[in-house]
Structure 1
Amino acid sequence: MTDFSGAGAAGRANRALESLHAMIYFAPEADEEYQRVGLKRGRMGYFASRSAAMGPVSPGVVTATFYNFHPGLVAHNIPRAWTLASTDDVLAARYTAVDRALRRLLGDAVDAPELGELAALTRAATEDLPAHGRPLFAAHTELPWPDAPHLVLWHAATLLREFRGDGHLAALLDGELSGLEALITHCATGHGFTEPAAKASRGWSEDEWNTCVDALRDRGILDGSGLTAGGVALRDSVERTTDRLSAAPWTHLGAERTGRVVELGTAFSRQLAANGAWPDGVFANR
């Protein structure tokens, strides 16, 4: 029987819901809306839209909270973004893009009762979560809830994703993995970005990547074939800690309702994938 309680539910729920949030990072509607409010095409929209809930923060804050991006890539876009558009305008553009993208990717299912049910369940999962030590989650909790069910669902999925993500950074720190080390080892699991996509999107040079790989080999985490047994154990430990630190929403929701979230979230996520939410060559296994 599938376990939908505690830490056992956290990973399953995350896998079911992650696509419903992350689709916006690949949707053409996002870049269109960010350019409409004055941002430049490319990574600026990503950095500005995800950090705008914290206010017009510095590149150091974005690098720290996003964790695995090259500081130079962040500094190329932040704080310049805040000279081109206000954080309020960026946030409004983000929700317009989400609305357009979900309507395109889900079609008539945007108005399905099952989507409304999932929106209500995920919103309930976010109630009364502790924000201490979770800066991105805390910032997003202060944003107003939208009205439309598909936007409620996206906002709830965002809160749950950032809640988990902030805890994931704590797990990576405990595992003594830097941002680049975390990125490389995650690619090596075969369940994240492909290596070319990670290098292109995160801004690390070939030399920086290779130097880090050599350091991970010296630590016994990587070898010529990929993750060593110790590397696999380290990544497994990071994921178990992440699940434990992100169990609160699902403990609050309870096993029965969490199981329903996984069922509905998986179905909608599969529809997103079938309708082209993910570019080819970005993920190793999605």
Structure 2
Amino acid sequence: MAGNEKQFKSAFDSLHALTYFAPEVDAALTGIGLRPGRMPYFAGRSAAMGPVGAEVVAATFYNFNPEVVARVIPRAWTLATPAQVLEARLDGVDKVLTRLLGDDTLKSEEVAEAAELAREASAGCTAEGRPLYAAHAALAWPDQPHLALWHAITLLREYRGDGHIAALVLNGLGNIEALVTHVATGDGFVPEVAKLTRGWSDEQWAAAEAGLADRGILDAEGALTETGVALRDRVEVATEAAATGPWDHLGPEKTARLELLCRALSRQAVEAGAFPEGVFAGRRRV
């Protein structure tokens, strides 16, 4: 079922990821007092855990520089409560999905069906060892189908992400090391964009590369060695294996139906301008 999980992730991913690029979500969060920049992202995604400190956010987000997190957390909680952040975030999601998909689509039988299937899939998730998933799973379900669908996708993404972090820890890759080796696979950001978006300096990046080279994971040019390729393969296999619960619970027929529905919605959202032009320019094409 791991292959199906990976395929489905690509089908629904845009429906959640667009949240982080939507002006409606940013406006909703800055409208309650959060400062523009990184604060809406860190506060918006971590608010389900309550007013936690920078250490908790850095640990659960993993590949961001903890120094960057500490610049906005816990200050964010002095500007708005987690409850206010969660309410504003959902309001922004409602607005952006309405803009991208339109009222007719949001009220369609397909969206209602997708929401029911995604919620059923999420019932196959377990909270043990999954802090971000567990925090979001404790939130009330939205009543409107398109928001329930978005919430279910959020649960599934955080569930998978928590499992991915466990795989990285198991395989001995720390925060920046996980990012450096992911970049080295060629299936991700180029180094300049990875450093910029995750807040790492050139010096920190170079030090991580040197450490990975000493361990035989990178070669002198910064490419993955055979040992490094095998390491990243183990991480991916473990990540997919840890993420099968929802799809085993939903079953192959319903999973295929949900994939079909979400792929169509994702395509519509992307074509309607879900992501700013050039937002993926810093990703390698493989």
Instruction: Say whether the fold is shared (TM-score over 0.5).
Output: yes
Q: Which residue of 2 aligns with 1:3?
A: none
Q: Which residue of 2 aligns with 1:55?
A: 50
**Residues 6-28 of structure 1 deviation map (CA, whole Å, 9 limit, x = unaligned):** 22322112222222111101111
Identify unmatched segments of 5+ residues in structure 2.
Answer: none
Is 1:262 matched up with 2:259?
Answer: yes
Task: Identify which range, 130-139 or 184-193, moves more after superposition.
Answer: 184-193
SS at match of 2:159: helix
Q: Which residue of 1 aligns with 2:23?
A: 28
Matches within 5 A, 1:157-196: 157-196=153-192
Q: Which residue of 1 aligns with 2:206?
A: 210
- In 2, the alpha carbon distance for the partners of 1:194 and 1:103 equals 33
- In 2, the alpha carbon distance for the partners of 1:95 and 1:18 equals 17
SS at match of 1:176: coil
- In 1, the alpha carbon distance for the partners of 2:6 and 2:87 equals 30
Identity %: 53
- In 2, the alpha carbon distance for the partners of 1:64 and 1:218 equals 25
- In 1, the alpha carbon distance for the partners of 2:229 and 2:274 equals 29
Q: Is the 8 A contact 1:10 1:244 kept in 2?
A: no
- In 2, the alpha carbon distance for the partners of 1:194 and 1:102 equals 30
Q: Which residue of 2 aligns with 1:134?
A: 130
**Residues 146-197 of structure 1 deviation map (CA, whole Å, 9 limit, x = unaligned):** 0111111110000000111111011001111111111111122232233232
Is 1:41 matched up with 2:36?
Answer: yes
CA separation of 1:48 and 1:7: change in aligned 2, threshold 3 A: same
Task: Identify which range, 13-22 or 273-282, moves more after superposition.
Answer: 273-282
Task: Identify which range, 14-23 or 62-71, moves more after superposition.
Answer: 14-23
Please point out which of 59, 67, 72 is paired with 2:67: 72
Identify unmatched segments of 5+ residues in structure 1.
Answer: 1-5
Task: Identify which range, 103-112 or 62-71, moves more after superposition.
Answer: 103-112
- In 1, the alpha carbon distance for the partners of 2:195 and 2:224 equals 18
- In 2, the alpha carbon distance for the partners of 1:214 and 1:276 equals 40
Q: Count matched residues.
A: 281
Q: Which residue of 1 aligns with 2:283?
A: 283
For normalisation by structure 1, the TM-score amounts to 0.93
- In 1, the alpha carbon distance for the partners of 2:222 and 2:76 equals 41
Is 1:231 matched up with 2:228?
Answer: yes
Q: Is the 8 A contact 1:11 1:243 kept in 2?
A: yes
- In 2, the alpha carbon distance for the partners of 1:31 and 1:238 equals 33
